[in-house]
Amino acid sequence: MEDKKPLLEMVGISKSFPGVKALQDVNLKVHSGEVVALLGENGAGKSTLMKILSGVYKKDEGKVLIEGNEVDIQGIKHAESMGITIIHQELSVLPNLTVSENIFLGNEKFDKGTRRINKAWMRERSLGFLEQIGCNINPDTLVKDINVGEMQMIEIAKALTKNSGIIIMDEPTTALTDVETKNLFTVIRKLKEKGMAVIYISHRLDEIFQICDSITVLRDGKYVGDVETKSVTKDDLITMMVGRKLEEQFPYKEVDKTKTLLKVDNISLKDKVRNVSFEVKAGEILGIAGLMGAGRTELAKTIFGDYKKSSGEICIDGQKVSINSPKDAISHGVCYLSEDRKKEGLILGMSVRENMTISNLKSYENSLKRINKKAEKEEVDKYIKKLSVKTPHREQLIKNLSGGNQQKVILAKWLMLSPKILIIDEPTKGIDVGAKKEIYEVLNELKSAGKAVIMISSDMAEIIGVSDRVIVMHEGKLTGELKRDELTQENIMKYAVGI
Ligand SMILES: Nc1ncnc2c1ncn2[C@@H]1O[C@H](COP(=O)(O)OP(=O)(O)OP(=O)(O)O)[C@@H](O)[C@H]1O
Ligand SMILES: [Mg+2]
């Protein structure tokens, strides 16, 4: 590959934010028709580098060359005019507009005479772009009525309208099902055939091996190196990313299981959850597996009182309880960490400290109802350290943290409530391999402290590696239960597809 002139080269890029050196002397090379992975731990600088390339941020130092010519990227529109488009970690489609209105957002076609938006033209062109990526969605559909996978396709179609030569995808698959991910890869291969280049960010190493030609690794804002995918192993990549070998990705700990902490009896939520019964013991991590849409999140939210159950009973510590709201659930020691942490968990305008302690301020009150600030700060610092949250200090606004580090803050917030029963939905989505292990250690600690953990996860390796026992759901029903020594991918899949 070295003999061909790169389509894009970033050389010696540096960027600082107050208190943070986000990038230091970073290089990146991308050729036409190539998919390049950008890999690194949470906070390594991946999104920042891509925001510089796409004109969102200005670099402090370094050079950007397109086909060998140095360019000075002035802003997003300017980057787009040079053929660079970014699809951000959070999608930016507008739910109340149609598919074609979204595709041409900011690029609308106006009639010369009437100065009205020419919807028919946009519709027609949208069909063409969608067809190019093999997506047969109706351009008149409102975006709120389509699924996340399709929204992703719209973002790509939008990039095509801008004549992009380089499309940046920042963690595109975190919210996608396996089928949608496959579709996305088919589209990426089509883009490659057209000679376009894709820069692909993901924490899922399997995906990187499937779709990327080469990999550039960053660590702590610094360039570690670039390698061809076919010449490395997963372990090589992990070592490059975290700077050391990562033994035992799934630390497991056998703990004496004592009394039953949670008993769920015949719970239903209309047709979403159907007559589900199970128990979790103190000292146990119960995994809930299933395909997307199997009703796992609905089950969790029903137990947590977010949804009103249509039938069934819940017992905690042997006592029948009535849970009609999350507040009730929390008062009984049940916490639920949502899979959609961005939407349900974060307050962007607040600091790391405030986000961590907002649900728990009462526990720092003294007898005069004053907050014991010192205790609060100590607790926050403890969790920053425990989960290695990358932030210059506890007062940093959470919106300035990287995606994965924001996730860790929300996790800390729930852990601080020291729940008796913690329900945790896709706990490591968007989390790097090193930090994943830290989270598993925390779950093991809860286990040892006699708490119960219920972990919903679509990551097979994780559910097999971490759980003491797994129950599997299919179309709202429990279809199977597996003990730790029965946990294999085949056994789980068998129940997950409902046979
Ligand atoms: N606007 C900002 N203000 C202050 N600090 C920032 C800002 N944007 C990013 N940072 C910091 O720069 C560093 C790199 O962040 P970046 O978002 O690029 O990481 P990342 O590699 O994309 O991580 P993740 O995998 O978690 O998404 C982090 O320490 C982050 O807190
Ligand atoms: Mg990021």
User: Which pLDDT belongs to residue 85?
Assistant: 93
**Segment holding 469, helix H or strand E:** strand 469-474
State the residue for tokens 């990187």.
208
CA distance 20 to 59: 14
Q: Which residue has the tokens 């975190």?
A: 174
- What the block records as the tokens of 420 is 């008796």
**Distance from the CA of 333 to the center of ligand 2, in angstroms?**
33
Decide whether any atom of ligand 1 lies within 6 Å of the 352 Cβ: no
CB within 8 Å of 69: residues ≥ 6 apart: none
> Closest Cα to atom 6, ligand 1: which residue?
400
Going from the Cα of 47 to the center of ligand 2, the distance in angstroms, rounded, reads 4
Judged by its nearest atom, the ligand closest to the C-alpha of residue 430 is 1
For ligand 1, whether the C-beta of 47 sits within 6 Å is yes
Structure tokens at 214: 């080469």
Q: Which alpha helices (DSSP H) does 119-204 contain, by range?
A: 119-132, 148-161, 178-193
Around ion ligand 2, residues with a beta carbon closer than 5 Å are 47, 402-403
- Is the pLDDT at 420 greater than 50? The verdict is yes
Please give the pLDDT value at position 219.
94
Q: For residues 199 and 35, what is the distance between their CA atoms, to the nearest angstrom? A: 6
Residue 1: pLDDT over 50: no
Q: Where are the domains of the chain?
A: 8-242, 260-496
Q: For the segment 321-341, what is each residue's pLDDT rounded down to a tens digit?
A: 999 999 999 999 999 988 776
Q: Is 135 in the pocket of ligand 1 (CB under 6 A)?
A: no
Q: Is the pLDDT of residue 268 over 90?
A: yes
Answer yes or no: is pLDDT of 312 > 60. Answer: yes
Between 392 and 173, where is the model more confident? 392
**Residue 107 pLDDT grade (very low, low, confident, very high; cuts 50, 70, 90):** confident
Question: What is the enclosing helix (H) or strand (E) of 378?
Answer: helix 373-386
Radius of gyration of the chain (CA): 24
Burial tier of 209 (Cβ tally within 10 Å: 0-12, 13-18, 19+): middle
Mean of the per-residue pLDDT values of the chain:
91
Beta bridge partners of 117: 110
Amino acid at 132: Q
pLDDT tier for residue 170 given thresholds of 50, 70 and 90: very high
In which element (H, E) is residue 334 found? strand 334-337
Number of CB atoms found within 10 A of residue 460's CB:
15
pLDDT in tens, 353-398: 999 998 777 777 777 778 888 989 999 999 999 998 999 999 999 9
401 lines ligand 1 (CB under 6 A): yes
Centre of ligand 1 from the C-alpha of residue 148, in Å:
24
pLDDT band at 103 (very low <50, low <70, confident <90, very high): very high
Distances 232 to 128, 185, 205, 250, 262 between C-alpha atoms, Å: 39, 21, 11, 22, 45
Residue 465 one-letter amino acid: G
Give residue 176's pLDDT: 78
The token pair that represents 15 in the structure block:
């960027």
Confidence of residue 435 (pLDDT cuts 50, 70, 90): confident
Domain 260-496: give its CATH architecture.
3-Layer(aba) Sandwich (3.40)
pLDDT digits (tens, 9 = 90+) for 191-236: 999 999 999 999 999 999 999 999 999 999 999 999 999 999 998 9
| Any atom of ligand 1 within 6 Å of the Cβ of 98 | no
Nearest alpha-carbon partner for 408 in 441, 452, 367, 360: 441
216 touches ligand 1 (CB under 6 Å): no
Specify which residues 69 forms β-bridges with: 66
The predicted model gives 105-130 an average pLDDT of 87
DSSP string, 301-319: HHHTTSS--SEEEEEETTE
The whole-number average pLDDT for the span 446-456 is 95
The protein residue whose alpha carbon is closest to atom 29 in ligand 1 is 43
Q: Is the pLDDT of residue 3 over 70?
A: no
Instruction: With H, G, I as helix, E, B as strand and everything else as coil, classify residue 202.
Output: coil
Atom of ligand 1 nearest to the CA of 390: 29
How is domain 8-242 classified at the CATH fold level? Rossmann fold (3.40.50)
Q: Which atom in ligand 1 lies closest to the alpha carbon of residue 218?
A: 21
**Pocket flag, ligand 1, residue 17 (CB < 6 Å):** yes
Q: Which amino acid is at 279?
A: E
Instruction: Name the band, by pLDDT with cuts 50, 70 and 90, for residue 138.
Output: very high
The percent of residues above 70 in pLDDT, for the chain, comes to 98
Separation of CA 68 and ligand 2 centre (Å): 27
From the CB of 402, is ligand 1 less than 6 Å away? yes
Question: What is the pLDDT at residue 342?
Answer: 67
Q: Locate the ligand 1 atom nearest the alpha carbon of residue 50 and give its number.
A: 18
Summarize pLDDT for 19-53 with one digit per residue, the tens.
Answer: 899 999 999 999 999 999 999 999 999 999 999 99
